[in-house]
Amino acid sequence: MTNYREIAWQGLWKNNPGLVQLLGLCPLLAVTATVTNALGLGLATLIVLVGSNILVSLVKNYVPKEIRIPVFVMIIAALVTTVQLLINAYAYGLYLSLGIFLPLIVTNCVIIGRAEAFASRNNLASSAFDGLMMGVGFTLVLVALGASRELLGQGTLFDGADLLLGDWAKSLTIQVWHMDTQFLLAMLPPGAFIAMGFLIAAKNYIDHVIERRQPKTEVETTITRARITKVN
Amino acid sequence: MALKMASSPYLRDKLQTSSLMQRVMLCALPGLLVQSYFFGWGTLVQVLFAMATAALCEAAILAMRQRPIKATLQDNSALLTGFLLGLAVPAFAPWWITLLGVAFAIIVVKQLYGGLGNNIFNPAMAAYVMLLIAFPLQMTTWSAPVGFEHHAFGLLETSRIIFFGSTAADISLYQMGADGIAMATPLDSVKTAFSTGLTINEALQANSFSDGFGIGWLWINCAYLLGGLVMIKLKLIRWHISGAIIGSLFVCASIGYLLSPDTHLGPLLHLFSGATMLAAFFIATDPVSAATSNQGRLIFGALIGVLVYVIRTYGGYPDAFAFAVLLGNLCAPFIDHYVKPRTYGHRTSR
């Protein structure tokens, strides 16, 4: 069951934390006004997710079942604090523009969700890989949302990339088209909700098309819960 | 001879959705004409352009949804949405504002929720709020009413400004006052005056007023009032929503005016300014997104009236009907849940 292709497929598409599980909507909607912010928060979440999955998988046999959630939360909080301090030290501009949403990664349900649903039931390697794939899937959704909102809102891509990557990245900013007036709606929270709706609709449409193209195969006999790939 | 068995209802009105929408538009015509008289050809151009765009958008999205196109288009509801949005945008707004608004109204607010009868929000007003939030500059530059322009723009010139004059230079030339065609609406100028500490009487000395009413807006509101009364007479709408809006707005404004006449608009000024009559009769009465029982309609209308007064007086925007109608739409299912009409043969509804 825990083959890596399946894990990758689950994290990137089928069980994508942003599009399907709809977890972590608060940072997803709040910081995706530009690609840079989205990428920064996505990478931070990715690091925390991989780290927490590894640690939870390591300690899973030593943690009593009754207090596992507090233990997981403390592991996650320690990791988030580390990442926050690192970003504060090495990408201060990004630290300022992400603001409260960086420490709020602690409360991101993707992380505790994967720790509980996957890492506490699987071995180290597949847990780490699951964290990586879920994190990449989440980051991709963030970036897609950030790119569409930035493009619609101010007609640029990678505006402010120097906040994330250092001064050389200033040249990365692409002016895709020039706008006389900013499309404010795309930059504001309601635009994030609307764009998110369209993104989910597009994903469902692609699934629908794929399903229609496939020849009918026999009906699956086993029914597995969507969020748990393996039950011990 | 076999009698034909038919199920109820046995008495039917011949009024179809299509002719209902048509008649609503006809009733709004006097208002449109008066508005065009005061604000030039722009209003007319916007309405026609918005209606055409609405029909195109509806056809496109219906094709995507694989629904019958012709039959649905014939119900005229998309045209009415375009009509109302065309009335609501400023006369000299660039064409892409109207296009975006109409596309949003038809595609997102109406069809993505399932089409006519399933939309939670009033499409025209949701689109108006979207435009107001997204493009505050273009949406708040109203042209000056007739008599203030240095010269009146003809139909061709107006169309040129709307469809081709949307570059930054043209906007600053035409809208920021080089030709003097742009000016604040009366409600806007009163709001600015209050914020600078003037009293109502000083505010009414502003050049957008004459005899205590906004120039043009009094007659526009009268024309919509007339159209609305005709609609009630023809039983296209019921009086409850419009009556409750006007009543509650009047009561709220009277209380404010009695308490502190210097810093509040009078009740009549509230009723005959901005979008009051248009919204009370033509927009809030949208049967899909409003409450459905008579008692519910009264509550719905009163809620909108109070909201309009609160937002106009304390809010950041000069006029408030779009926001108030949307908030009312949100409450409509809730109102309907608690206000159920008594069914025949039962004492109470619950």
**pLDDT tens per residue across span B273-330:** 888 899 999 999 988 889 888 899 999 999 999 999 998 888 777 778 889 999 999 9
Gap between the Cα atoms of B327 and B121, Å rounded = 9
**8 Å CB contact of A180 and B137:** no
Of B133, B134, B167, the CB nearest to A180: B167
* H runs (alpha helix) in chain B: 17-39, 41-64, 69-73, 77-88, 95-103, 123-134, 136-140, 155-163, 168-170, 186-195, 200-203, 217-233, 239-259, 267-271, 276-278, 294-314, 321-338
Residue B52 lies in domain: 16-183
Gap between the Cα atoms of A127 and A98, Å rounded = 28
- Looking at the complex, does the CB of residue B61 fall below 8 Å from at least one CB of chain A? no
Q: Say if residue B178 is in the same domain as residue B199.
A: no
Q: Say if residue B238 is in the same domain as residue B175.
A: no
Q: Look at residue A127 and tell me whether its pLDDT is greater than 60.
A: yes
Of A181, A188, A190, the CB nearest to B135: A181
Q: Say if residue B177 is in the same domain as residue B196.
A: no
Cβ-Cβ contacts under 8 Å, B130 against chain A: 185
Q: How large is the average pLDDT for residues A13-39?
A: 82
Computed over every residue of chain B, the mean pLDDT equals 82
Final residue before a domain boundary, out of B164, B183, B202: B183
Sign of CA dihedral B166, B130, B140, B332: positive
Q: Rounded to the nearest 10 degrees, how much is the dihedral formed by the CA atoms of A52, A54, A55, A59?
A: 130
Sign of CA dihedral A191, A193, A197, A199: positive
Gap between the Cα atoms of A53 and A130, Å rounded = 8
Q: Give the count of Cβ contacts less than 8 A between chain A and B.
A: 20
Q: Say if residue B217 is in the same domain as residue B254.
A: yes
Report the first-to-last Cα separation within chain B, whole angstroms.
45
Domain-located, residue B151: yes
Q: Say if residue B135 is in the same domain as residue B204.
A: no
**8 Å CB contact of A180 and B171:** yes
Cβ-Cβ contacts under 8 Å, A183 against chain B: 134-135
- Between B73 and B4, the more confident residue is B73
Q: How large is the average pLDDT for residues B165-187?
A: 51
Q: What is the band of A114 on the pLDDT scale with cuts at 50, 70, 90?
A: confident
Condensed to tens digits (0 to 9), the pLDDT of residues A71-85 reads 999 999 999 999 999
Domain-located, residue B2: no
Gap between the Cα atoms of B297 and B108, Å rounded = 26
Q: What is the band of B228 on the pLDDT scale with cuts at 50, 70, 90?
A: very high
Final residue before a domain boundary, out of B183, B209, B239: B183
Q: Count up the domains in chain B and report the number.
A: 2
| pLDDT for res B177 | 41
Q: How high is the ipTM of this complex?
A: 0.73
Taking any CB pair shorter than 8 Å as contact, residues of chain A touching chain B are: 180-181, 183-186, 188, 190, 194
Q: What DSSP assignment string belongs to B240-260? A: HHHHHHHHHHHHHHHHHHHH-
Residue B33 exposure: Cα atoms within 13 Å on the Cβ side: 9
Read off the tokens for B78.
Answer: 């998309």
Of A180, A184, A194, the CB nearest to B168: A180
| Type of residue at A130 | D
Q: Say if residue B77 is in the same domain as residue B178.
A: yes
Domain-located, residue B98: yes
Q: Say if residue B95 is in the same domain as residue B156.
A: yes
> Which chain B residue has its CA at the smallest distance from A187's CA?
B134
Tell me the shortest Cα–Cα distance from A84 to chain B, in angstroms: 33
Instruction: Tell me which of B111, B112, B173 to substitute to probe the interface with A (most A C-beta atoms closer than 10 Å).
Output: B112
Domain-located, residue B5: no
Of B133, B166, B167, the CB nearest to A184: B133
Strand partners, B209: B214
Q: Say if residue B39 is in the same domain as residue B121.
A: yes
Q: Say if residue B47 is in the same domain as residue B154.
A: yes
**8 Å CB contact of A181 and B137:** yes
Q: Say if residue B195 is in the same domain as residue B314.
A: yes
Q: Say if residue B27 is in the same domain as residue B176.
A: yes
Domain-located, residue B256: yes
Domain-located, residue B11: no
Closest of B258, B252, B233 to residue B313, by C-alpha:
B252
Q: How many CB atoms lie within 10 A of CB B24?
A: 24
3-state secondary structure of B210: strand
Instruction: Tell me which of A154, A179, A182, A184 to substitute to probe the interface with B (most B C-beta atoms closer than 10 Å).
Output: A184
Cβ-Cβ contacts under 8 Å, B168 against chain A: 180
- Looking at the complex, does the CB of residue B138 fall below 8 Å from at least one CB of chain A? yes
Final residue before a domain boundary, out of B183, B209, B243: B183
Domain-located, residue B298: yes
Domain-located, residue B69: yes
Q: Say if residue B178 is in the same domain as residue B231.
A: no
